[in-house]
Amino acid sequence: MPYQGTTGALALVAALALSVSGARAFDESRFPNWKGQWVALGGAGNAAWDTTLPPGAGERALLTPEYQAVFAANIKAEAAGGPALDPTSRCVPAGMPRVMMAVQPMEIVITPGITYFMFPAFDSLRHIYTDGRSFPAQIEPSFIGTSIGQWQDTDGDGRFDTLRIETRAIRGPHTYDASGIPFHKDGEAVVTEKVYADKADQNTLHDEITTRDHALLRPWTVTRSYRRDAGQVRPEWLEVLCRRDASRVLIGDQNYKVSPEGLLMPAVKGQQRPDLKYFK
């Protein structure tokens, strides 16, 4: 079956879902074998969202002038003791699309109507609905967004090999990576993905990720890749608990330090005392 359009793919998915629902048998052979533990390629050196661009100025160049200014102001504010640019430092989830950097290994669980992307970090479980549904008219924004996918058999061998995903309703604040590159505050970012195994190596998975956001001059496409150990019979799944940085607290919009003995301290010279009117 050659590569097919959206309508054809949806029809195929719907037919498959129906047959599964009727027979109550899940024909795994129709889907790619993406079992195992997927580890992001590149390791710590791959910490930038787009490794093809020089960090900092190169990535910043993709932002509209308004958001270049926002980014610069955020950097300045953080340097002056303000809130950290990276929301994950406060245990706020990385969200989409950043979660696909897979800082910790991920598991992909394929079922007929939903494919799950599971990450060890808290608040990072993706549901990719592949049952042919449409996006609801109203979606409650979430950090992980709402994702609808379509399986495709691009080489016509009778087995799906590619998962195309669109994700909307992504809640902010979120950033592309730890550098703090911002998304537009309107929350209208749309992320599309094409996930497939490498043609020459089924133990390498690629995710072509395109982000459309009003803070960008043009859609931004990056490819993240992951690898699994084919010889790993039973992967060890670690639990990653977010530990808030106890040396900093955010009270309202003000960032403060906490001394080693647990007392509140100014984060910047001349910072005002917090308002304690509720203690009177």
Partner 1 sequence: MLDRSAMGALALAAALAMSVAGAKAFDDASYPDWSGYWLAFGAARGSFDTSRPKGLEQQAPLKPEFQKILEASIADIAAGGQGNDPGYHCGSHGMPRVMLALEPIFFVILPQTTYVILERLSQVRRIFTDGHAWPVQLPGASVGYSIGQWIDTDGDGRYDTLQVETRGINGTRVYDSNGAPLHPDNSTIVKERISLDKSDPNILHNEITTIDDALTRPWTIMRSYRRHPAVWDEYVCAATNEHLAIGHDDYLLSADGLLMPVKKGQKPPDLRYFDAPQP
3 vs 237, beta carbon nearer partner 1: 237
* Options 6, 122, 133, 198; binder of partner 1; rule CB under 8 A: 122
Closest by alpha carbon to 34, among 194, 233, 147, 202? 202
Q: Is residue 29 part of the contact set for partner 1 (CB under 8 A)?
A: yes
Residue 22: CA count within 13 A, CB half-sphere: 6
Q: Which is nearer to partner 1, 55 or 120 (CB)?
A: 120
CA 95, CA 103: separation in Å to the nearest integer?
12
Residue 230 lies near partner 1 (rule: CB under 8 A): no
**Strands 39-40 vs 220-227: parallel, antiparallel or unpaired:** antiparallel
Q: The tokens of 129 are what? A: 């609905």
Closest CA to 148 of 163, 162, 128: 128
Specify whether the CB–CB gap between 221 and 210 falls below 8 A.
yes
Cβ atoms of 175 and 85 closer than 8 Å: yes
| Backbone phi, psi, residue 200, to 5° | -95, -10
List the one residue out of 116, 119, 185, 172 whose CA is nearest residue 143. Answer: 172
Q: Does 273 sit near partner 1 (CB under 8 A)?
A: yes
Binding string to partner 1 for residues 181 to 220, with x set by CB under 8 A, is what?
Answer: ----------------------------------------
72 lies in the binding site for partner 1 (CB under 8 A): no
**Cβ closer to partner 1: 60 or 90?**
90
Distance CA 182, CA 70 (A): 8
Shorter beta-carbon distance to partner 1: residue 26 or 204: 26
46, 64, 204, 271: residue in contact with partner 1 (rule CB under 8 A): 271
Among 26, 55, 78, 154, binds partner 1 (CB under 8 A): 26
What is the binding site for partner 1 (CB under 8 A)?
20, 23-29, 90-93, 109, 111, 116, 118, 122-125, 127, 140, 142-144, 171, 234, 236-239, 241-242, 244, 246, 249, 251-253, 258-259, 261-266, 269-279
